[in-house]
A and B are shown apart, each in its own frame.
Chain A
Amino acid sequence: MKIARMHVLLPVDPDTVLAGVMEFQKALLEELRKRNLEEEIKVLETGSIGITGKGILMVVYPEGIYYANLKVTDIPRIVEEHFLKGRPVKDLLLGEVPARFVKKEKVGLTREQKRVVLENVGIIDPENIDDYIAAGGYEALEKVLTSMKPEDVIEEIKKSGLRGRGGAGFPTGIKWESAKKAPGDEKFVICNADEGEPGTFKDRLILEGDPHKLIEGMIIAGYAIGAEKGYIYVRGEYELSIRRLQKAIQDAYSYNILGKNILGTNVNFDLEIKKGAGAYVCGEETALIESLEGKRGQPRNKPPYPVTHGLWMKPTVVNNVETLANVPSIIKNGAEWYRTMGTEKCPGTKVFTILGHVVYPGLIEVEMGTPLRDIIFNYGGGIKDGKRFKAALVGGAAGVFLPESLLSVRMDFDNLKQYSAVLGSGAILVMNEDTCMVDMLFSIIRFFKHESCGQCTPCRIGTYELYALINKVREGEAKEEDLDKMISLSEAMFKSSFCPLGQSLVMPVKSAIENFREDFLAHLDKNYKCEKCRR
C-alpha cells in the first residue's frame, strides 16, 4: 500500500469555484503528473475551511500551511520550492505561517478554535463516506443502536444542554422529548437547511464539507423520537450542498446506514431532500412544513407546535443543521464533555460568520460566550485598511446594531438578551467609520419587505410603510417625528405580526435609530451629502 508523504487540500465551495479552483486543480494535477509526483503527493477536494474572499486557497499537510489568492501560474513555483525542496513560498501564504495544530503565534481565522460541528470540514473529502468513517464517523450511531434506548439518547441530549442553533435557542432535548411523548404512530425529523438569514452560511459549510455528520445526527434524532422518515429542506440555491448531500445519502443507503434494518438492527430510517424555492419565510419552521406539504409557504399559528402537530399534523422535530451536527459528538464524547465548553446556560460551541470590513472574513467555531471583541479583532483580524470600528450587526438581518461601547458583550443566547440583542444565526457584520447607518437600515428593510409572505397585515403593509419611511429619510424628505414613527410602527409589528419575520424588524430599526441617531438626524437635512443615499 502506497502512503502519500504529502496531502494537498483544496477547499471547494462557491467562493473558491468562482475564483477558479477547478481549473487550478486540473493544472496542479497536470504539473504533479509531469514530475511523477502523483503517488507521493495526494490532492484532495474538501469543504470550505471557513475563509472567504481570499481567492483560491490551498492547505498543505503535514505542515498545515495555508496558501491564499493562488493563480495557475503559481503552481510550478509551489511544486518546485515547497513540494520538492520543502521551502514554503512565503509571498503566497495566507497571513503568516502558523497552522491549526502548531501552537505558535496564530493569525486570523487559522487561530485555534474549538471545532465540533466543523471538525471534519476542510479536512476530509465530503464526497467520500470512507473518509468520514475513518475520521470517527458513525461511531455515535453505532453506540446508540447497540447500547442506548431512545430515552437514554434524549436524556444525554438534555444533560448536554444543547440549544437550537437556528436562532431561537430552544433546548433540543426538551423538543425531542415532547415529540417522543406526543401521541401518534407516524413521526418525522426535519432538518431546516433553508439558511436564509443574510450574512449566514454556516450550515452551507457543514452541508458541503461534512454531510455525513448531519445524516448521522438525523438518524440518531429519528431513533430517539421514534421517527422513521426524515427530510432535509435545503434552500434551492445551494446547488453544491444538494449535490454533496445526494451523494452522501446514496452512499449511506448502500452501506445500510439508511433504509431498513440499519446496520442489522430493527431500526429503519429513510431520508429525503426537499429543495426550497427562494423564500426567506420558509426558514420559519411552520412555513417550511407548509412548503413541504406542497402548499403556499406561510407560517401556521402556534400553538399547536410542530412537536405535536407538524408535518401532515403529525409529531415532528424541526432542527437546524448546526444543531443536528452537534449530536454525534455529544453522543460519542458524552454530555459532560460538551459542558466543558461554552457557558453554563449555553454549553458547547457556535459557528460565527464574520463579514464586512474585517481583514479575515469567514467562519469560525468557538465556545459559546466568547466576547464579540475577540471574534472581531482576534479572529477577524480587526478593521481592514486601518479604519475604525463603527458598528456590528449581530444575528443577521433580524439582528441588532451594536456600537463600540457594547463590544465586550459575550456571545451566547442569554448574555445578548441583556442588550436587547439576539445571537440569531451567529452572523456578525462589521462596519467601519465610513458606513452610513441609514443606508444599512435601508438594505435590511428592503430585504424584509421583499421576503414578507403577505399573510398578516402588520408585516405585509408594515414592511412597506417602513420602506416608504426610510426612503423619505434617504431622500431628505423626513422629519424627526418620522424616526419615532418608524420605531413605534416596528414595535406594533413586534406585538401583532403572525411570525418572527414581522416581529423581528423592531431590532434593527430600533437599534440603528437609537444607537446611531446622529446618522439619521444628519439625513433630515435635504442638503446633507451622503454618497450611499443620495447620488
Chain B
Amino acid sequence: MAEMVKLFIDGREVEVEQGSTILEAAKKAGIHIPTLCYHPDLPPTGACGVCVVEIEGSPTPKRSCCTPVAPGMKVTTNSKALREVRKTIVQLLLSDHDVTCPTCPANEKCELQSLANYLGVDMNGLPAILERKPIDETSISIVKDPNKCILCGRCVIVCNELQTVSAITIANRGFEAEVDTFFSQGLGNSPCVNCGQCTVFCPTGALSERSEIDLVWDALLDPDKVVVVQEAPSIRATLGEEFGMEIGTVTVGKMYAALRKLGFDYVFDTNFAADLTIMEEANELVERIKTGKPLPLITSCSPGWIKFMETFFPDLAEHVSTCKSPQQMFGALAKTYFAKEAGIDPSKIVSVSIMPCTAKKFEARRPEMRDSGYQDVDYVLTTREFVRMLKSAGIDLKELPDEKPDELMGMYSGAGTIFGATGGVMEAAVRTAYWMITGKELENLDITAVRGMAGIKEAELDINGLKVKVAVAHGLGNARELLTKVRKQIEETGKSEYAFIEIMACPGGCVGGGGQPKGSTFAMRARRGEGLYKEDKSLPIRRSHENPAIKRVYEKFLGKPGSEVAHRLLHTYYYKRCDQTGCTLEAVTEKHVGHH
C-alpha cells in the first residue's frame, strides 16, 4: 500500500502516491501545466524547462515533470513570471529553428508550433542564431533534419532504451549538441532498423519519413499506368482519428472510397495477403513441428524486426519463418496473379502500399524482393503521408460513403485484420494451424492471453492434446529480452521451451507503428488495437483458410501452401548485418529453400 502525499496546487488540495511528480499530481487535480519535451510514455528528461512551476520556499522555479511531490507543498502553476519564462524558452527555441511550418511534415502536429501559438510568442524577440546543419537523407526510410531539432532527447531514449538499437545519441556539447549517428555516418549507414519509433515520438519535424507522396501522385496522374493499392490492417483503425473521429473507430469502407477518389485503379487490401501469410506460415509451423525441425518458429512480417534480427540475432535466422510479409506477398502476386487475371501488362502496374510503417519503405527496396520479375512493391506511403495526401486533395473521410474493395485481392477474414495488433499474427496463425494439425475447427477463437500491451506475453496452447508454448513480444527492447532467453536456452540445452514466437518491432504492434500519426501514445495504440479485435469479432469469416479469395488463389494459381510456386513468390531469405554500420555482410539463410 503506497504512502499518500497531500499537497496544494493553485490552492487546490490533491492527494497522490509518494514518488509522484508535481505534473502527475496536477493532472489528477485537473490542472493543465504546459509541457514540451515531456512524453507520458517516456521517463522525463527535464530538457526544455517549459513545465516549471513556483514552489513556496524554493528560490527558483522547479520542473514539474521531474520534481517529486512533498507533503504540504504549495505549488503555483501559472503566474506572470512563469508565463514570461515559458515565452522566453519558446522564443529561444524558435530563434534556433528552421521555421518552415507551411511545408514542414509536422505542420499541425508539431508540439513546438502549438505551444508557441498557445503562449503567443514574439518571433522576432531575439536574434536568429540558427547555424544550418546538413539534413541526413542517407536512409531509405527516415529523414533527420537537425535544424528542426529541439533536443528534447525523446528519440535517443526511444532508440537506446525502448528499442535497444542505439543508432543515435547526443553528440557534442552545448550549442553544438545534436542528435547524431556514429561519426556522423548517417542513419542509412548505421544499425538503424528503420522502425521509425523516433519519428512518432519526435515533437517537431526533425525526424520524419522520406516522402514518396510526389512519386505516387506522378503514378496516379500517369494515364499509362495501372496503379493498385493495398492497405495494412492498422490503417482502417487509425484513419478516423485524423478526421476527428473517436480513436479506434474502424473506417474501412470509407478508406476504400477515399482511395478511389484519389485515383487508384484497383483498391485491394493487405488483409487478403495477411490471410495468405497465415496459410503459408501455419503450414510452415506444422511442417516444423512434424519433422522436429528448428523450433521456435518466429514470425517475419515486421521488417524493422527482420533488420534487427539480421543485425543483432543472425544466429537465430534459421528460426525465422521464410514467409515474406503480407506487403511483399501481395506485391509479388499483384504483378503475376493479378496481372494474369486482369490481362494487364505487369510492366505497367505500379504497386503502392499504405502502411503504418517506415521500415516497409526499406523492405520494398530490398534487392531480393523482385520475384515477380519487377520491383514487387513500388511505393510505400505511411499513414501520415496518406493523411496528407487526402487532406491536400480536399477529401474529408467523414463525408465519404462506405465502399467495397476489389475482391480478387481485397477480401479478408477476421484473422487477417487482427495482424495490426500485437499478438494478432499469433492468434491468426493458431486458428489455421489448429485446423491444419487436427482437421477440426478451433472453437474459441479469442486467445486473449496473447492480447494487450504487456511487453512479453506467453501462453500454453492445447492443440487437441498437443501442448504448444507460444510467446509474443512487441517493442524491440522486449524482443531482445525474449530472444536472449531463447538463444541461451538453445545454447545450453539444444532447444527452447517455445514452439512459436511473434515479434513486432513497434510497441503495440503495427497500430503503434513508426509511420503512424505523431504523438501516438501507448494508450492510443491500445485503443486502435481494440478496434481491430472488434472488427474481427463482427466479421462472418474469422479464419484465414475460410476466405474464398484465398481458396481461389491457391486453386487457380499457387496450388497448395508450400508449393514450388508459393516458395518462389511468397518466401524469402535473410542476411547477416554489421552491428556498427548496418551494412549487409552475407546471406545467412538459403534462397527459397523449404524446410524439408
Contacts and interface: CB of A to CB of B under 8 A. Distances in A.
A binds B: yes
B286 interface: no
B49 A497 contact: yes
A511 to B, nearest CB: 18
A520 B67 CA distance: 39
A192 interface: no
Chain B contact patch, size range: 35 or more
Interface string B51-69: 0100000001101001110
Interface string B164-176: 0000001011111
B177 interface: yes
Nearest to A482: B127
B111 interface: no
A449 B126 CA distance: 16
Interface string A371-411: 00000000000000000000000000000000000000000
A198 B285 CA distance: 69
Interface stretch (B91-99, B135-143, B342-350, B535-543): B91-99
B49 A279 contact: no
B421 interface: no
A296 interface: yes
Interface in B131-188: 150-151, 153, 170, 172-177
A485 interface: yes
Contacts of A154: none
B85 A460 contact: no
B61 A454 contact: no
Contacts of A451: 173-174
A149 interface: no
A465 interface: yes
Interface residues of A, number: 33
Contact of B175 (A461, A494, A495): A461
Nearest to B175: A464
Given A452-B174, A454-B172, A301 B127 contact: no
B129 A465 contact: yes
Contact of B81 (A452, A455, A495): A495
B66 A456 contact: no
A455 B127 contact: no
Contacts of A449: 174-175
A512 B176 CA distance: 27
A456 B47 contact: yes
Contact of B49 (A450, A453, A496): A496
Interface of A is mostly: helix
A455 B52 contact: no
Given A485-B126, A489-B126, A454 B170 contact: yes
B127 A469 contact: yes
A492 interface: yes
Given A456-B47, A496-B61, A503-B60, A468 B127 contact: yes
A489 B176 CA distance: 20
Nearest to A279: B173
A454 B176 contact: yes
Interface in A271-306: 279, 296, 301, 303
Interface string A472-504: 100000000000010011001011111000010
B423 interface: no
B507 interface: no
B352 interface: no
A296 B170 contact: yes
A303 B49 CA distance: 16
Nearest to B70: A303
Contacts of A323: none
A438 B84 CA distance: 26
Nearest to B176: A454
A451 B46 CA distance: 19
A498 B151 contact: no
A450 B126 CA distance: 20
A261 interface: no
B175 A452 contact: yes
Contacts of B175: 449, 452, 454, 460-461, 463-464
Contacts of B49: 456-458, 496-498
Contacts of B153: 455
Contacts of A469: 126-127
A11 interface: no
A462 interface: yes
Contacts of A465: 92, 95, 126-127, 129
The listed residue with most A CB atoms (<10 A of its CB), out of B52, B85, B92, B170, is B92
A429 B395 CA distance: 68
Contacts of B85: 492, 495-496
A299 B199 CA distance: 27
A57 B126 CA distance: 51
A457 B150 contact: yes
B520 interface: no
Nearest to B45: A455
A235 to B, nearest CB: 16
Given A454-B172, A456-B47, A468 B129 contact: yes
Interface in A15-55: none
B173 A494 contact: no
A461 B96 contact: yes
Contacts of B52: 495-496
B93 A461 contact: yes
Which residue among B44, B63, B127, B151 has the maximum number of chain A CB atoms within 10 Å of its CB?
B127
B92 A461 contact: yes
B48 A301 contact: no
A496 B177 contact: no
B47 A457 contact: yes
Contacts of B88: 458, 488-489, 492, 496
A152 B547 CA distance: 82
Interface in B70-115: 81, 84-85, 88-89, 92-93, 95-96
Given A468-B129, A492-B85, A495-B85, A454 B92 contact: no
A374 to B, nearest CB: 30
A455 B96 contact: no
Contacts of B46: 301, 455-456, 498
Given A301-B46, A461-B95, A465-B95, A453 B174 contact: yes
A492 B84 CA distance: 8
Nearest to A464: B175
29 contacts: A279-B173, A301-B66, A303-B67, A303-B68, A450-B174, A454-B173, A455-B45, A455-B47, A455-B151, A456-B49, A457-B48, A458-B92, A461-B92, A461-B96, A463-B174, A464-B96, A464-B129, A465-B92, A465-B126, A472-B127, A485-B125, A492-B84, A492-B85, A495-B60, A496-B52, A496-B61, A496-B85, A498-B46, A498-B63
Given A301-B46, A497-B49, A503-B60, 8 more contacts: A452-B174, A454-B177, A455-B151, A464-B175, A469-B127, A472-B127, A496-B89, A498-B46
Interface of A: 279, 296, 301, 303, 449-458, 460-465, 468-469, 472, 485, 488-489, 492, 494-498, 503
